[in-house]
Amino acid sequence: MKIDLDPTRCVGAGQCVLTAPEVFDQGDPDGVVVLRDPDPADELTEDVLAAADLCPVGAILVADGGDDR
């Protein structure tokens, strides 16, 4: 899976961190999304997709990265 962030759109709502804390964090002091793990384990796929869906401004984009592993 390939995760792209658009920090210019992020409003710091934090839904991504609540949903997938292993993958996302918020930067200090502005609370803008930060990618903690650019290559999360397969078992986190559902959480990452949920985090992208929950983002109120669409700052998280997830694409199929192919079979790189």
DSSP-assigned letters across all residues of 9-55: T-----HHHHH-TTTEEE-TTT--EEES-SS--GGGHHHHHHHHHH-
- CATH code, residues 2-63: 3.30.70.20
The pTM score is: 0.89
- Mean pLDDT per 10-residue interval, the chain, length 69 residues: 96 98 95 96 97 98 73
pLDDT of residue 69: 45
Domain segments of the chain as ranges: 2-63
pLDDT of residue 10: 97
